[in-house]
Amino acid sequence: MEILSWILTIATIVAIYSIMGLALNVHFGYTNLPNFGIAGFFAVGAYASAILTAPHRFREMEIFAGFPGGVAGRIEAPFIVGLLAAIVLAGVVGLIIGIPLLRLREDYLAVASIGIAQTIYYVAVNELWLTTGSAGIRLIPMPTGNRYLYFLLVLLLLAIAYWVVNRFYSTPIGRVWRGVREDEVITASLGKSIFRSRMSAWIAGCSIMGAAGCLWAHYSMAIQPGEFVPTTTFLVWIFVIVGGLRNNKGILLGAILIMGFFEQGTRFLPAIGAPYIMPAIRLIIIGVLLVVFVRFRPQGVLPERHKKIEAHIR
Amino acid sequence: MGVIFKAEEVSLAFGGIKALDGFSIELEENTITALIGPNGAGKTTFFNVAGGIYPPDGGAVYFRGERVDGLRPDQICMKGLTRTFQIARELGEMSVWENVMLAPKGQVGERVFSSLLRWGTVKKQEKENWEKAEELLKEMGLYEERNELCKNLSAGKRKMLEICRAIMTGPELLMLDEPTAGATVDETKSIMGEIERLREEHGLTFLVVEHKMDVIMNLCNPIYVMYFGRNLAKGDAEAIQHNEQVREVYLGG
Amino acid sequence: MNRGRKTRPRHSSQDGVYFAMEDLLSYGLLTFATLALPSLGLCLAIKVTKYFNLAYGDIVTAGAFLALLMNLSFKINIGIALLISIALTALLGVFLHKVVFKALMEAKVGPLTLLVVSLGVGLVIRNVVLIGWGPQPYQFNTPLTRAKHLGPFFFTPNQIVMILICILVAIGIFLMLRYTQLGRLMRATSDNPSLSLIRGISIEKVYTYTWIIACGLAAIGGVFMGMLGTIKPGMGEEALVTLFACLIVGGIENPYGAVVGALITAFAMEATAIWISPPYKVVSAYLLMFFILLIKPSGIFGREKIQWKYFLGFLRSRQ
């Protein structure tokens, strides 16, 4: 039973991270928007859903403990409302942030998006009325009540996300996005608005990240700002690059290899020395792996596959 | 037959150097007009102004009586004016068919929700667009390479692909910047044939920048000559060949 | 930049304005002293190598911890520890360049790829430091001194020395860029790397010296941050985006701009801490960065005009 529960934990986390990886593929793989603020959108989704669905009991406990009761726990909405709110809110935040950011050259966009994620982190730490600060929100309900069923729910949403992202690739919108990635000037002179195309890719990706955040909140049942630090972002980047940027199967593979075997799989090995040593060693190895991959196999384990027209038209 | 495109006294300076200095041009509908001039005369700059990449410092550009200078490239293309680039710029990591299918206007699947929800319409449009593209690619001799990646094409083929892409946008006016540069003799012939065919069958208007004099002289009428961002001469092939000023600056006297 | 002064004295409201201004001047200048040199170093690195190195924040951390090692473990005076740390951090920078970045730059990968790689390098440095010292914050062992009023300022002697070092080193770097052979080579390489190659300048040498200077400056910045607050493995990562904010405010490849940008950013941060909310001071640096990116992406010294239209740019059709 122990081992089964262990596998289940890892599988759920891998599935949730895979959703973020797919969203990063929409941003960076398809449209060349290097989003280094994944943790920020993840946080927006997680907090949106957590605040809406936290039970009244949580607010009462907060007040009982002497805190001013915040927004969390006032509404006690069902899971589906939380999920939709997470998707919509992450998209709206993406829209607002995208207006200044999407004009920038890629490397500026990368740095600015780190700043965005940090800003969201500071808001989560400091706006007590909204997020209850660094203590976080607890008692978030798991909609299925049971971790096995919840894993199936996460798998279902992963399948939907995979389908959506694949569908984007093979429909005209994916062509426009990839056109923007290859050469903005040409794509613009073929009548496609660069800003609108970038924005649609940006919002679509951000919304998917928001959905992943919602799933995370309901899985861990308690969220804290400390979970939404840049390391989260970097992990997604690393498994996407290792697995194969621009290839959705590669991203799933990367998530299983890096997140499953490495980051999560070794979590339950006996600790060596102080408790922080093992995670640090893991991150060092992951960092080295990133450098090695970019140097020797920049396209990842599975490179981009181009569909033949015959298969497309069929 | 009316004037489809008109530029009046267009000027543009880059850091004090006047790339365009009061250049004017008028294109009659359903003609093939040539724009020639020595290197650095400002032909490509004029294309960039007309295509919306740079807004001009002065003057005005009209397309079908509507002022278009200062619009963005995509807005200008949507009005029916498509241009190509001198150095064939290809979307390298995309296959030939994807390049061509990127171009058609009004694709429903270019919107996020339609792409996910309106299966039938998207599929139907893709089929229709591919039928057009298939025909075009066959005529231009690119059909065999339809599943190749663009970065693997030869320079001449890239040029052809660029023209295919421009045609697929369904333009009324097509501005081609050196369409036969880097093309072999056979390719040049097929490009020229295609231009003439499109003019005759579909009533398209062309503005062509070209260095190959035989191409220009056979295909185009009228011919505009440009020199240091200004108009130098205008006329048919005969007149241009006998114009003293043009011979001096361009034809090497 | 978290320097743990939760005990900042709160002044009463009637004399609040005067004292707040005094606070702003003193803390602003101190924050400037921590930011100016690393932002100058990062600026030089970007100017010459043409990519954003996200490991730079962690190089700052490494500088602080190397000084800490000398100061606490080997009981060396903080001044000498600083010098040793500068040398060791410069060595680290050259090592990273030779082992990781050199080959990639020769393979002509894009600036974005180098940025992603530098992320991995930063992750490694940060976690090596974490293994070595653990997550808890440290402080340097410096002689205790009392703060004194100096005109409108309120500093300890240590802090005065820091500010002086910062200004002198910055001036030294400017003179070096302007008048020495190395400075000329750095500018030439920055303007046109391929031309420098043709002229027979050894680009590799210029890169090496640039990294020595950039990482030396990072070490000074790291030690100063540690002097004013605490030293912990995440300090450089926190500072990184602030450093980029300084650079972008001043113009990303402009060394003078980097220092002026650090001054503006430092005062904006401290003003936020005093009048709005201390936790949001870093956010104010980011917001300043976004604002500049919106209206004048080349920084306040850039040649282009302020583009207010960018605010509504996405609605515009005519330019």
As a whole number of angstroms, the distance between CA B71 and CA C261 comes to 35
Distance from CA of A188 to the nearest CA of B (A): 5
Residue B121, chain C, CB below 8 Å: the answer is no
Indicate whether C135 pLDDT > 80: yes
Question: ipTM value of the model?
Answer: 0.91
- The label of the residue with tokens 């200077």 reads C213
Query: What is the number of domains present in chain A?
Result: 1
Average pLDDT over residues B55-63: 91
Measure CB to CB from residue B130 to each of A307, A308, A313 and give the nearest one: A313
Average pLDDT over residues C21-41: 92
In the sheet that holds B32-36, the strands lie side by side as B81-83, B173-177, B205-209, B32-36, B223-227, B230-235
Residue A149, chain C, CB below 8 Å: the answer is no
What residues does each domain of chain C span?
16-315
Which C residues, 288 through 317, put their C-beta within 8 Å of a C-beta on chain B?
Answer: 317
Q: What are the structural domains of chain B?
A: 3-89+171-251 (3.40.50.300), 91-152 (no CATH)
Residue in chain B nearest C313 by alpha carbon: B72
Q: Indicate the pLDDT class of residue C194, thresholds 50, 70 and 90.
A: confident
Indicate whether B172 pLDDT > 50: yes
Average pLDDT over residues B186-214: 87
Residue A302 within any structural domain of the chain: no
CATH 1.10.3470 for the C16-315 domain, yes or no: yes
> Which residues on chain C are in Cβ contact (under 8 Å) with A197?
none
For residues A314 and B60, the model is more confident at: B60
For the ranges A97-106, C196-205, C223-232, the lowest mean pLDDT is seen at: C196-205
Rg (CA), chain A: 20
Q: SS in 3 state form for A113-149?
A: HHHHHHHHHHHHHHCHHHHCHHHCECCCCCCCCCHHH
For residues B86 and A210, the model is more confident at: A210
Residue A236 within any structural domain of the chain: no
Per-residue tokens: B105: 């206007």
Q: Indicate the pLDDT class of residue C11, thresholds 50, 70 and 90.
A: very low
Residue B72, chain C, CB below 8 Å: the answer is yes
Average pLDDT over residues C292-318: 62
Instruction: Find the domain containing A149 and state its range.
Output: 2-228
> Which residues on chain C are in Cβ contact (under 8 Å) with A119?
283, 286-287
The answer to whether the Cβ–Cβ distance between B102 and A190 falls below 8 Å is yes
C-beta separation of C58 from C100 below 8 A: no
Residue A129 within any structural domain of the chain: yes
**Per-residue pLDDT, B104:** 94
Average pLDDT over residues C133-143: 89
The answer to whether the Cβ–Cβ distance between C319 and B55 falls below 8 Å is yes
Kindly list the partner chains of chain B, i.e. chains with 3 or more CB atom pairs below 8 Å.
Answer: A, C
Residue A308 within any structural domain of the chain: no
Per-residue tokens: B184: 């072999």
**Per-residue pLDDT, A191:** 92
- The label of the residue with tokens 């450093």 reads C243
Q: Indicate the pLDDT class of residue B251, thresholds 50, 70 and 90.
A: low
Interface test mutation site (partner A, options C248, C314, C319, max chain A beta carbons within 10 A):
C314
Residue A299 within any structural domain of the chain: no
pLDDT by 10-residue block (mean), chain A, 314 residues: 84 95 96 95 97 92 84 90 97 92 87 93 92 90 90 96 95 94 90 92 97 96 92 92 90 91 72 80 90 88 88 84
C-beta separation of C257 from C299 below 8 A: yes
For the ranges A128-137, A261-270, C82-91, C154-163, the lowest mean pLDDT is seen at: A261-270
C-beta separation of A116 from A41 below 8 A: no
**Per-residue pLDDT, C3:** 39
Distance of CA A273 to CAs A281, C123, C137, Å?
A: 12, 21, 19
Indicate whether B186 pLDDT > 90: no
Residue B92, chain C, CB below 8 Å: the answer is no
Cis amide prior to B222 (ω within 30 degrees): yes
Interface test mutation site (partner A, options B48, B91, B100, max chain A beta carbons within 10 A):
B91
Residue A182 within any structural domain of the chain: yes
As a whole number of angstroms, the distance between CA C51 and CA C104 comes to 12
The answer to whether the Cβ–Cβ distance between C317 and B72 falls below 8 Å is yes
Q: Indicate the pLDDT class of residue B69, thresholds 50, 70 and 90.
A: confident
Please spell the DSSP secondary structure of A246-302, one letter per residue: T-HHHHHHHIIIIIIIIIIGGGGSPPPSSTTHHHHHHHHHHHHHHHHHHHH-TT-SS
- The label of the residue with tokens 């982190």 reads A121
Interface test mutation site (partner B, options A32, A169, A189, max chain B beta carbons within 10 A):
A189
As a whole number of angstroms, the distance between CA A212 and CA B198 comes to 51
The answer to whether the Cβ–Cβ distance between C103 and A237 falls below 8 Å is no
DSSP state of C315: G
Q: Indicate the pLDDT class of residue C312, thresholds 50, 70 and 90.
A: very low
Q: Which amino acid is at C35?
A: L
The answer to whether the Cβ–Cβ distance between A112 and C117 falls below 8 Å is no
Q: Are strands B32-36 and B205-209 parallel, antiparallel or unpaired?
A: parallel
